[in-house]
Amino acid sequence: MFHGRGGCTPSWRHLVVDWYPPLLHIISYADPGEPVIRELLSQIPGHVEAVLLQRRDLADTPMTLLRGELPQEIFAVEDGLRYALFFDRDRNVGFFPDMRVGRRLVRERAAERRILNLFAYTCGFSVAAIAGGASQVVNLDMNRNLLQVGRDNHRLNGHDLRRCSFLSHDLFKSFGKLRRIGPFDLVIIDPPGEQGESFQPHRHWPKLLQRLPELLAPEGEILAAVSSPHLGRRFLANQFETSLPTADLVESYTAGDDFPENDPDKGLHLLWFRNRNRNRNP
């Protein structure tokens, strides 16, 4: 509902509001202060049953229920697909609303394709891909619990789990295995901005892109995403130019009008590439 992080309303750049009926999820990256909370609550219509405030500026990003009760099960619903949400485990809730454009692209282009979903998290891309008729999706994430949520997300949508697999591995120790189960018609790459030793963008993007031809089918395609306050579209495009020059940029996308950005290089960027190299590396 509101994407203050984009900086288009500078005095509210610390605030994000997501609507998962019947729950309103307010995320604040600074202390909003009591008067603002009171004012916000007075403006939120009565049919909003529950209001949850998450303080992303504090350690452990605590959540406070400002109104109502937390429903036992909460789902994000997008294009007729359901995704389970959790508000008790992590700073993220299991679903990234701004990635809608990416899930739609994948769904539109998935039919009959073998897809590798790297950094799969709760398998949002995989759910969209199976809904779009993908023949197979391999999901890889080093966090086993998140992949379990991903399995549940497929069940929630009545999907045939035989068309999906779930590998809980560190990507950078798994290229041999992926190469054996490849090649893939489409590889989705949506890593974290930065995550300890597991993902450091300046070190790991080149590593990954240099190994990618081993995993791609002839004319294989790549959907790559960047979404970080520190890295932008330019960073991602440069990574491909330097480390995978055989990939041609086909199209690029942002998160769209619901997620306005003050700096056009920042926010979510999705780049779609086709790899010219017809031969997999020996």
Ligand X SMILES: C[S@@+](CC[C@H](N)C(=O)[O-])C[C@H]1O[C@@H](n2cnc3c(N)ncnc32)[C@H](O)[C@@H]1O
Per CB under 6 A, residues contacting ligand X are: 96, 99, 119, 121-122, 124-125, 141-143, 146, 170-172, 190-192, 195, 198-199
**C-beta closer to ligand X: residue 113 or 204:** 204
**C-beta closer to ligand X: residue 205 or 240:** 205
**C-beta closer to ligand X: residue 50 or 121:** 121
| Shortest Cβ 123–ligand X spacing (Å) | 8
**C-beta closer to ligand X: residue 51 or 212:** 212
| CA distances, 150 to each of 47, 165, 175 (Å) | 30, 10, 22
**C-beta closer to ligand X: residue 54 or 139:** 139
What tokens does 14 get?
């610390």
Structural element, H or E, at residue 274: strand 268-275
**C-beta closer to ligand X: residue 135 or 198:** 198
| Shortest Cβ 164–ligand X spacing (Å) | 14
| Shortest Cβ 198–ligand X spacing (Å) | 4
Distance CA 270, CA 218 (A): 22
Distance CA 64, CA 66 (A): 6
| Shortest Cβ 119–ligand X spacing (Å) | 3
CA 136 to chain centre: 19
Report DSSP letters for 186-222, one per residue.
EEEE---S-BTTTB-HHHHHHHHHHHGGGTEEEEEEE
Distance CA 282, CA 273 (A): 22
| Shortest Cβ 40–ligand X spacing (Å) | 27
| Shortest Cβ 212–ligand X spacing (Å) | 15
| Shortest Cβ 61–ligand X spacing (Å) | 15
- Of 83, 95, 91, 77, the closest CA to residue 22 belongs to 77
| Shortest Cβ 216–ligand X spacing (Å) | 18
**C-beta closer to ligand X: residue 40 or 99:** 99
**C-beta closer to ligand X: residue 21 or 192:** 192
Distance CA 118, CA 58 (A): 29
The answer to whether residues 172 and 200 touch, using CB atoms and an 8 Å cutoff, is no
3-class SS at 236? helix
What tokens does 218 get?
């002839």
Distance CA 185, CA 274 (A): 10
